[in-house]
């Protein structure tokens, strides 16, 4: 690794994007946290999105996520944009698809940076852009028998 110009002795991160996946299996906060570990990072921010039991004043009975075949590529594009905008040491994001229950983890993202303010800002940008730009859709089924699709794109 080459030294950076910001701090003497600090090594530039090789590829800050350490883990990006869309998967049908349960997510692990520990796995994502470990993926962004970096000795040059002074701050790590982590966001965990869970399935809640209500939305828009209605009780959620069941929920499923599905995605477009391009979702993984779009996830990488978003991650690369965040890594270019902030001094990211390491970044990870995993989103779940399939049928989920209330309390299940739907998405976990984490970013480590030299300082906490950068880590918070980068993590916020990562989750916000993933939700707005990656074609992953949520199908909510409510306890009254109604349902709705909620999409990122």
Render each residue's pLDDT in the chain as its tens digit; 153 residues.
344 445 544 555 589 999 999 999 999 999 999 999 999 999 999 999 999 999 989 999 889 999 999 999 999 999 999 999 999 999 999 999 999 999 999 999 999 999 999 999 999 999 999 999 999 999 999 999 999 998 744
pTM of the model: 0.89
Reading the block at residue 31, the tokens are 């796995």
Residue 148's contacts (CB-CB under 8 Å, 6 or more residues apart) are 139, 140, 142
Q: Is 81 exposed, middle or buried (0-12, 13-18, 19+ CB in 10 A)?
A: middle
Strand arrangement, sheet containing 43-50: 17-23, 90-96, 105-113, 43-50
Distance CA 33, CA 44 (A): 8
């Amino acid at each position: 690794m080459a030294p950076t110009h910001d701090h003497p002795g600090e090594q530039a991160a090789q590829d800050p994007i350490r883990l990006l996946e869309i998967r049908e299996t349960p997510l692990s906060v520990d796995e994502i946290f470990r993926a962004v570990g970096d000795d040059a990072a002074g701050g790590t921010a982590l966001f965990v999105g869970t399935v809640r039991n209500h939305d828009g004043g209605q009780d959620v009975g069941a929920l499923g996520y599905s995605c477009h075949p391009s979702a993984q590529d779009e996830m990488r594009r978003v991650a690369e944009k965040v890594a270019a905008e902030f001094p990211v040491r390491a970044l990870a994001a995993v989103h779940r698809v399939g049928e989920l229950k209330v309390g299940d983890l739907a998405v976990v993202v984490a970013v480590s940076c030299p300082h906490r303010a950068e880590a918070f800002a980068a993590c916020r940008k990562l989750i916000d852009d993933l939700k707005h730009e990656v074609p992953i859709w949520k199908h909510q089924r409510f306890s009254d028998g109604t349902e709705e699709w909620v999409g990122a794109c």
